[in-house]
Structure 1
Amino acid sequence: MTNRPHQICTNCVMDTTDSAIVFDEKSVCDHCNTFYSKVKPNWHTDERGRAALDRMVEKIRADGQGKDFDCIIGMSGGIDSSYLTYAAKELLGLRPLVFHVDAGWNSQIAVNNIEKVVDGLGLDLFTEVIDWEEMKDLQRAFFRSGVPHIDTPQDHAFFATMYKFALEHGVRNMLTGANLSTECIRNPIEWMYYQSDSRQIRDIHRRFGEKPLRNFPLTSILWHKVWLPYVRGIEVLRPLNFMPYIKADARLLLMDRFGWQPYPQKHFESRFTRFYESYWLPERFGYDVRKVQFSSLIVTDQMTRDEALAELSNPSYDKETIGQEIEFVANKLDISVEELMNYMALPKKTYRDYRNQEEVYRFGARIMRMVGLELGGKR
């Protein structure tokens, strides 16, 4: 956070709570300008996207010949991964194995949604359960470190486990619901640091953890960005970027077809993420991730700026039930409510206060943009 006068973009709802935000002479932010100048012109969901998608599907089918499934889809029960699972089976004719990582924080709605979609499509579900004692210890360590990005252990476990499974079972194609339609504007790095930085995870755990990480899945950027794709041929694919994907339409389809239940906010399929994004980030640091989520929908014409501002005028958490949420998180982590609230008052730290690989990520991102493999906006 800086002492800059508060300013909000005149096009979206990003503001100076992103300390690195830059505005042009019309007070339009660099998030928007990057989208309109670099992302939108190179993002195709028309016949060009369909042609690219057809080539992707052809490769997936060829790689999967003779196997029980031709790709794996990481499914959280959220709207993006749920719609991707439907699209992969019904629209693209693929044979996916649905892969779910249980990090101990699934909401009951998420459990129900996964079951409804998987059963409705007649697919197989594989669930990997993370060692809960190690997960708790690592999450408590992140609380004690004082950083904003306390959801890192959960996110890291998700994709590290998927990579490990793909490698062990010879799966060359991993499908993810990540997409430009609802995620083209990214969380500033000071809000959510790179979840795959195992150097930072190890350093924070070394300083604040209490037990060794023997079973917790760890990956590294060089392993999953270089070794796996370029040596072992394992690719992470984002099919939703090549087809029309409108959040409201996807929600209706999932509800009508499978009885899927929507969440109050994106990523709320996890009870921990719900606490983290709705309470921890805005109350302790002043970071409201709804600004990022709504701004993505604004620039892709799925939400108006006035609608976003109206939503943002309300708190991101339910004042009537937040006490129960705090108690739930504390109990799950085997700490008292008092201890959890004491974490809220710790000196504020950033990822820069601990060992990290930020320069590796920035260098990789520059290379990816230069060769046209990265269309996403700045972080």
Structure 2
Amino acid sequence: MNSLKINTYQKMKKSTYQICTKCVMDTTDSVITFDEQGVCDHCQNYYKNILPNWNTGKEGTKKLEAIIQKIKEDGKGRDFDCILGMSGGADSSYMLHLVVKEFGLRPLVFHVDGGWNSELAVSNIEVMIDKLGLDLYTEVINWEEMKDFQLAFFKASVPHIDIPQDHAFIATLYNFADKYKIKYILNGGNYSTECINNPKEWLYFGTDMAQIRDIHKQFGSIPLKDYPFSSVLRHKFYLRYVKGIQVVKPLNFMPYIKDDAMNFLKETYGWQPYPQKHFESRFTRFYEGYWLPKKFGYDTRKVQYSSLILTKQMTREEALEKLKYPAIDEEIAAQDFEYIATKLGISVADLQSYMDAPNKTYKDYKNQEKMFKVGTKVMSWLGLENSPKR
């Protein structure tokens, strides 16, 4: 196919809207593909790579019991036998209940304060900690550095402006586990609500150090002396295979219905739900609920709802109805816009100028995409990852 035909084909592809016949992923994901029945590659990946390897019955229970027993044995004589990152969201909150009340583990409950906690998130963390009789360790990120780092991503005009916050959470957790020789990190991630990945162009890898350094070098104004870093090679390979730090996702070994979990948390602990996944952070609420769809046309609810559709927790019709309305209404969006600008120390006009700037992608900056692709293939070949990145 010559270049003229290729360009014509690409233009036709971009101008033709299509939505999956099984979930609600669509051509706002520019690399999405569909089979003859109109089923997207996200769904195909779920049925081919995830579902066959996802055991939530007796086999899953047996595997989880063995993992729990190993954690207890390795933790003998220690103050804590594992570390659990707590955001105040439903997944981490329900997991905390399970590991303490059902599994009898002794977790160090760890929270990273990046400066954007909502009042509801703080309350939800407190009620869980208090009623379970646990201590909470909170690591506070240097705000001046976080603020400057986030502004650098705004100025870079990329979709993934949440990386400074996400990377700090991941790096701090791993660094703490390594420093205090805690071998098990409990993670609330799960296939039940996250079996579809966000497209890479929407939310790029948060541990691509080449990209992070390039954006900060171009747009940052102060050195990041205290900000925590951890490259993907460090925490995926060195800490895992050399230092023996393992990530365990208990929710993947059992049936997990999110609505049931939230109702349980509400009745048992007084925990209160959020309007949408990830909205425990004021910044993420603004970012996913307004900035991404308004500036780039990316609605992360499509990913979240599609995961729930595939795991039979939501119907496609329910998802389509919800998607008719914005994630946050204009009044709340306007309040958030002013709040974000003020907290970042800029004017509303400055923030609007970042909104109006030409959109860019991770490909416009240095990146390690090739390394990530090779790493994913290797891990998939070794049987260490059942859900390869697209």
TM-score calculated relative to the size of structure 1: 0.98
Give CA-to-partner distance per residue, 1:184-219, whole Å, 9 cap, x none: 001000000001112211110000000000000011
- The answer to whether the 8 Å contact 2:186/2:250 transfers is yes
Deviation at 1:376, TM superposition (A): 2.4
Q: Which of residues 108, 121, 124 is equivalent to 2:119?
A: 108
Q: Does 1:228 align with 2:243?
A: no
Residue 314 of structure 2 is matched in structure 1 by: 303
Q: Which of residues 6, 11, 25 is equivalent to 2:17?
A: 6
Residue 257 of structure 1 is matched in structure 2 by: 268
Residue 176 of structure 1 is matched in structure 2 by: 187
Q: Which of residues 206, 210, 215 is equivalent to 1:199?
A: 210
Q: Does 1:332 align with 2:343?
A: yes
Q: Counterparts of 1:27 and 1:324 in 2: how far apart (Å)? A: 40
Q: Counterparts of 1:49 and 1:285 in 2: how far apart (Å)? A: 40
Residue 387 of structure 2 is matched in structure 1 by: 376
Deviation at 1:377, TM superposition (A): 5.3
Deviation at 1:244, TM superposition (A): 1.1
Q: Counterparts of 1:376 and 1:4 in 2: how far apart (Å)? A: 30
Residue 64 of structure 2 is matched in structure 1 by: 53
Residue 161 of structure 1 is matched in structure 2 by: 172
Q: Counterparts of 2:54 and 2:378 in 1: how far apart (Å)? A: 19
Residue 92 of structure 2 is matched in structure 1 by: 81
Q: Does 1:271 align with 2:271?
A: no
Q: Counterparts of 1:265 and 1:339 in 2: how far apart (Å)? A: 28
Q: Does 1:213 align with 2:228?
A: no
Q: Counterparts of 1:199 and 1:132 in 2: how far apart (Å)? A: 23
Q: Which of residues 139, 144, 154 is equivalent to 1:128?
A: 139
- The answer to whether the 8 Å contact 1:145/1:204 transfers is yes
Q: Does 1:95 align with 2:112?
A: no
Q: Counterparts of 2:367 and 2:247 in 1: how far apart (Å)? A: 24
Q: Counterparts of 1:199 and 1:118 in 2: how far apart (Å)? A: 38
Structure 1 residue ranges without an equivalent (≥5): none
Q: Counterparts of 2:202 and 2:101 in 1: how far apart (Å)? A: 37
Q: Secondary structure at the match of 2:201?
A: coil
TM-score calculated relative to the size of structure 2: 0.96
Residue 6 of structure 2 is matched in structure 1 by: none
Q: Counterparts of 2:311 and 2:378 in 1: how far apart (Å)? A: 26
Give CA-to-partner distance per residue, 1:314-337, whole Å, 9 cap, x none: 012111221111000001100000
Residue 250 of structure 2 is matched in structure 1 by: 239
Q: Counterparts of 1:54 and 1:371 in 2: how far apart (Å)? A: 24
Comparing 157-166 and 360-369, the one that deviates more:
360-369
Letter in 2 for 1:370: W
- The answer to whether the 8 Å contact 2:380/2:388 transfers is no
Q: Counterparts of 2:60 and 2:230 in 1: how far apart (Å)? A: 31
Count of paired positions = 379
- The answer to whether the 8 Å contact 1:49/1:242 transfers is yes
Percent identity, please. Answer: 59
Q: Counterparts of 2:389 and 2:257 in 1: how far apart (Å)? A: 22
Q: Secondary structure at the match of 1:8?
A: coil
Q: Counterparts of 2:367 and 2:75 in 1: how far apart (Å)? A: 37
Q: Counterparts of 1:331 and 1:227 in 2: how far apart (Å)? A: 40
Deviation at 1:378, TM superposition (A): 3.6
Residue 8 of structure 2 is matched in structure 1 by: none
The root-mean-square deviation of aligned C-alpha atoms, in Å, is 1.1
Q: Does 1:187 align with 2:198?
A: yes
Structure 2 residue ranges without an equivalent (≥5): 1-10
Give CA-to-partner distance per residue, 1:138-158, whole Å, 9 cap, x none: 000000001000000000000
Letter in 2 for 1:8: I
Q: Secondary structure at the match of 1:376?
A: coil
